[in-house]
């Protein structure tokens, strides 16, 4: 045995140094590919959020203080805003599940090619500007809007129903905009449920309804929770639709932040609101992912 | 197995016969099942064997109720099943993918059919334990499905399929995902389990060796039609046609010609003295490679043995057996196999050598020639 073959004493191993160097080179190359994205994340997200976080702890006199957070506890309007925000988000999520689950199921059981076509119908509005869709709802829902005109002409109701500039309008608009965010993850998790699962359930004596509730639904929960979380979190910070369709009556956190900045130019108070919302969102995400063991669906683990 | 403690005084039979008549299923213009008639006896282990796309799985799915045939009848005992929904048929089934429910433990999976049938918790637990013991998985009831190996999943799927005492058990290539060693072990275990349960079993496979190993009878299916239904012995030794002879086991087919005296011959070898066939019909000789033997110096009785002189072309050592190809005449090759023990003639054979191959007349298989355009 020459000194360059593999040696238990670990002395001179054949090409060991070169192979190690090659491995390090490969890792560096992969890291360099991710660098632009990492830098962008730092510049666009980490630094500004950190700055806002810092501002939230700076009082009106320019010194560090908790006064911005104290105000949030003192003034009832802040609490009301948070209640409204969570209420609207929760209701929107529930509406999306109610409409989205049957839709995703319908897409999942049909042949893939047909499903792709119907998926277009779900995605098409997705590609239209948010603002356009929101104002479109305004046109449909307002006092002299198409829906009220039609309803009254058909004799369904006599007085124009107030469908917009309130919670109803906000929920209709938001549910419409959020629906794809629920349907897409739900559809993909439903597609993964093997057809044999339902066959097996039926074969073992389950009626179609029993098979659905005992086998299909439990297997689709993870997709449903993942989609619901996305919808819920997006709703928490939503601005345009509640502002337009809520007509000032549905004040959510994002609206409140804008108001503070426009009226008082108080960065500290606005930042504090943002920070509280961010922390609340993270707590909810963490709790739900623990509750449903959602690591795979949310964080891409396999 | 007739002493089920809780089968009650009603004395339900442990198995039911299946009678299939005129079963037809078309996909577009293609017949997946072309008027299939099949009688499966009570307690029998019947294998549906065929290449992929032959219709064997379609037939099994029709028995289970997962597809809707275009016409025909499927009866379990005296009861017509063709219009019954799958959950009303009461057959157990083992799926190729196992189809175990990932959100339930092993025990919950097995208890699933019992729960649906309203079996009391205590009795259900007892039956789950018995089923687990039967498939040699005692103590694993609390495991999650993703903690099990492929072989263990297979056993759980099996336990779940028989725990509710179905009188018919269907299996769709249940061993195809296992490695070779485990598969061969499971074949024997499944056979024993079938003897123990006594349940009518319909088994689908494309693996001819598996079919030969396990079955009471094999139904060979091709292009939506049953081509032969018989015991493994008959299927192998007396294939009814070229498809069966070719699909099951290895074989060489040689064309036969009729002579003046009503016999059949290959070249100048007389194969059969008289073969009761219609005038004008054509026949082939089927030779299994392992039925040929190398003739040395011994004296051969031509009444008992057909002798083919030839020249070795190829010789391949394959471990348990050796495989060789010999040319006979101008255009035909014979493949043959022999053991590789120290007494075998393998060391003395080389490409280019002349040899004589013998075939006992009792091993001669004559089938109608496949007439292709």
Tens digits of residue pLDDT in A92-119:
999 999 999 999 999 998 888 888 888 8
Q: Which residues of A touch B116 (CB under 8 A)?
A: 204-206, 210
Q: Please report residues of A whose CB lies closer than 8 A to that of B103.
A: 218-219
Number of H helices, E strands in chain B: 8, 20
Name the closest residue on chain B to residue A198, using Cα atoms: B99
* Any A CB within 8 A of B90 CB: yes
A159-163, A254-258, B217-221: which range is least confident on average? A159-163
Cβ neighbours of B124 (radius 10 Å):
21
**Portion of chain A with pLDDT greater than 70, in percent:** 93
Asked if A200 and B66 come within 8 Å (Cβ–Cβ), the reply is no
Residue of A nearest to B104 (CA): A215
Per-domain boundaries in chain A:
1-56, 67-299
The proportion of chain A whose per-residue pLDDT surpasses 90, expressed as a percent, equals: 38
Q: pTM for this structure?
A: 0.80
Indicate the helix (H) or strand (E) that contains B172.
Answer: strand B168-172
User: What number does CATH give the domain A67-299?
Assistant: 1.10.3720.10
Name which of B61, B111, B116 to mutate to probe chain A: the one with the most chain A Cβ atoms within 10 A of its Cβ.
B116
E-only strand ranges, B4-44: 18-27, 30-40
Which DSSP helix (H) or strand (E) runs through B194? helix B180-197
What's the confidence (pLDDT) of residue B154? 92
d(CA B185, CA A91): 57
Backbone φ, ψ for residue A241 (5° rounding): -65, -50
Residue B306, strand partner residues: B359
The per-type count for chain A, helices as H runs and strands as E runs, is 15, 0
| Average pLDDT for chain A | 86
- Residue whose C-alpha is closest to residue A224's, from A189, A172, A177: A189
The CB-based long-range contact list for A275-281 (8 Å cut-off, 24+ gap) reads A275/A52, A275/A53, A275/A56, A276/A69, A276/A72, A276/A82, A277/A85, A277/A236, A277/A237, A277/A253, A278/A49, A280/A82, A280/A236, A281/A233, A281/A236, A281/A237
Is B174 near chain A, with CB under 8 Å? Answer: no
Let me know how long chain A is: 302
* Residue of chain B with shortest Cα separation from A206: B87
Question: Does the distance separating the beta carbons of B87 and A211 come in below 8 Å?
Answer: yes
Q: What is the arithmetic mean of pLDDT over B30-43? A: 94
Closest by CA to B198, choosing from B24, B14, B40, is: B14
Quote the CA–CA distance of B99 and B43 in Å, as a whole number: 25
**B residues 146..165 contacting A (CB < 8 A):** 160, 164
Contact criterion met (CB < 8 Å) for A194 and B97:
yes
Asked if the Cβ–Cβ distance from B93 to A200 is below 8 Å, we say: yes
How would residue B344 be classed by pLDDT, with cut points 50, 70 and 90?
Answer: low
Average pLDDT over residues B216-229: 95
- Using a CB–CB cutoff of 8 Å, tell me whether B118 touches chain A: no
Going by C-alpha positions, the residue among A27, A24, A29, A4 that lies closest to residue A16 is A4
For residues A213-222, give the mean pLDDT: 93
Whether the predicted pLDDT of B94 surpasses 50 = yes
Query: What average pLDDT does chain B have?
Result: 88
Mark B206-224 as b/e (b = at least 16 C-beta within 10 Å).
bbbebbbbbbbbbbbbbeb
Q: Confidence class of residue B277 from pLDDT cuts 50, 70 and 90?
A: low
Question: Between vectors from CA A257 to CA A256 and to CA A259, what angle results, nearest 5°?
Answer: 65
Q: How distant is the Cα of B230 from the closest Cα of chain A, in angstroms?
A: 28
Helices within B250-369 (DSSP H only): none
Q: B373 falls in which pLDDT band (50, 70, 90)?
A: very low
What residues of chain B lie within 8 A of the CB of A194, using their CB? 97, 99
Chain-centroid distance, C-alpha A105: 20
How many CB pairs lie under 8 A apart between chains A and B?
A: 61
Asked if pLDDT for residue B234 goes beyond 90, the answer is yes
DSSP B65: T
A71: tokens are 């105000």
Q: A200 and B64 in contact by Cβ < 8 A?
A: no
Question: Quick check: A199 and B66 CB within 8 A?
Answer: yes
| Minimal Cβ distance to B97: which of A196, A203, A206 | A196
- Chain A residues in contact with B108 (beta carbon < 8 A): none
Tell me the HSE value of B192 on the side-chain side, using a 13 A CA sphere. 9
d(CA A30, CA A34): 7
For A147, the token pair is 């829906």
Q: Do A199 and B95 touch (CB under 8 A)?
A: yes
On whether the CB atoms of residues A78 and A201 are closer than 8 A, the answer is: no
Strands B283-287 and B252-258: antiparallel
For residue A10, pLDDT beyond 70: no
Q: Which of A189, A203, A213, A215 to mutate to test the interface with B (most CBs of B within 10 A)?
A: A203
């Amino acid at each position: 045995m020459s000194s360059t073959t593999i040696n238990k004493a670990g002395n001179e191993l054949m090409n060991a140094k070169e192979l190690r160097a090659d491995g390090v080179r490969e890792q560096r190359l992969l890291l360099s590919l991710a660098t632009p994205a990492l830098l962008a994340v730092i510049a666009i997200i980490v630094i500004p959020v950190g700055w806002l976080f810092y501002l939230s702890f700076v009082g009106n006199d320019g010194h560090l203080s908790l006064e911005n957070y104290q105000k949030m506890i003192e003034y009832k309007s802040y609490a009301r805003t948070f209640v409204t925000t969570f209420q609207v988000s929760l209701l929107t999520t529930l509406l999306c599940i109610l409409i989205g689950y049957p839709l995703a199921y319908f897409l999942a059981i049909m042949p893939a090619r047909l499903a792709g076509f119907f998926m277009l119908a779900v995605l098409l509005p997705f590609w239209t500007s948010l603002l356009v869709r929101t104002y479109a709802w305004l046109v449909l829902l307002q006092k002299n809007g198409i829906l009220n005109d039609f309803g009254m002409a058909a004799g369904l109701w006599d007085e124009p129903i107030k469908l917009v500039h309130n919670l109803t309008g906000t929920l209709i608009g938001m549910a419409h905009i959020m629906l794809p965010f629920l349907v897409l993850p739900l559809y993909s998790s439903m597609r993964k449920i093997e057809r044999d699962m339902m066959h097996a359930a039926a074969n073992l004596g389950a009626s179609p309804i029993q098979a659905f509730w005992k086998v299909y639904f439990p297997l689709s929960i993870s997709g449903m929770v993942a989609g619901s979380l996305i919808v819920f979190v997006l709703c928490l910070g939503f601005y345009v639709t509640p502002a337009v369709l809520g007509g000032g009556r549905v004040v959510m956190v994002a609206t409140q932040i804008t108001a503070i900045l426009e009226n008082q130019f108080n960065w500290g108070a606005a930042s504090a609101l943002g920070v509280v919302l961010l922390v609340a969102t993270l707590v909810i995400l963490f709790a739900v992912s623990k509750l449903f063991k959602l690591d795979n669906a949310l964080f891409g683990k396999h | 197995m007739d002493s089920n403690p809780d089968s009650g005084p009603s004395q339900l039979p442990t198995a039911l016969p299946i009678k299939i008549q005129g079963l037809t299923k078309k996909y577009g213009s293609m017949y997946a099942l072309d008027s299939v008639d099949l009688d499966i006896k009570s307690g029998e282990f019947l294998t549906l064997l065929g290449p992929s796309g032959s219709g064997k799985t379609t037939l099994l799915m029709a028995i289970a109720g997962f597809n809707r045939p275009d016409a025909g009848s499927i009866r379990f005992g005296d009861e017509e099943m063709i219009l019954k929904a799958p959950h009303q048929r009461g057959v157990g089934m083992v799926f190729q993918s196992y189809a175990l429910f990932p959100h339930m433990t092993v025990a919950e999976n097995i208890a699933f059919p019992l729960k649906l049938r309203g079996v009391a918790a205590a009795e259900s637990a007892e039956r789950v334990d018995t089923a687990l013991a039967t498939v040699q998985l005692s103590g694993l009831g609390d495991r999650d499905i993703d903690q099990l190996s492929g072989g263990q999943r297979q056993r759980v799927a099996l336990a779940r399929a028989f725990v509710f005492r179905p009188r018919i058990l269907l299996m769709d290539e249940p061993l195809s995902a296992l490695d070779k060693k485990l598969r061969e072990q499971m074949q024997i275990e499944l056979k024993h389990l079938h003897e123990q349960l006594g349940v009518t079993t319909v088994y689908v496979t494309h693996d001819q060796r598996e079919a030969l190993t396990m079955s009471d009878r094999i139904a060979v299916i091709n292009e939506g039609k049953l081509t032969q239904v018989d015991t493994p012995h008959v299927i192998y030794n007396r294939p009814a046609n070229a498809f069966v002879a070719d699909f099951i086991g290895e074989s060489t087919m040689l064309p036969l010609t009729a002579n003046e005296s009503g016999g059949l011959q290959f070249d100048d070898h007389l194969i059969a003295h008289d073969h009761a066939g219609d005038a004008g019909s054509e026949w082939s000789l089927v030779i299994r490679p392992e039925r040929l033997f190398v003739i040395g110096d011994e004296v051969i009785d031509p009444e008992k043995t057909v002798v083919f002189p030839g020249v070795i072309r190829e010789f391949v050592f394959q471990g348990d057996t050796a495989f060789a190809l010999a040319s006979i005449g101008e255009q035909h090759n014979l493949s043959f196999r022999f053991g590789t023990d120290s007494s075998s003639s393998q060391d003395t054979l080389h490409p280019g050598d002349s040899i004589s191959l013998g075939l006992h007349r009792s091993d001669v298989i004559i089938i109608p020639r496949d007439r292709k355009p």
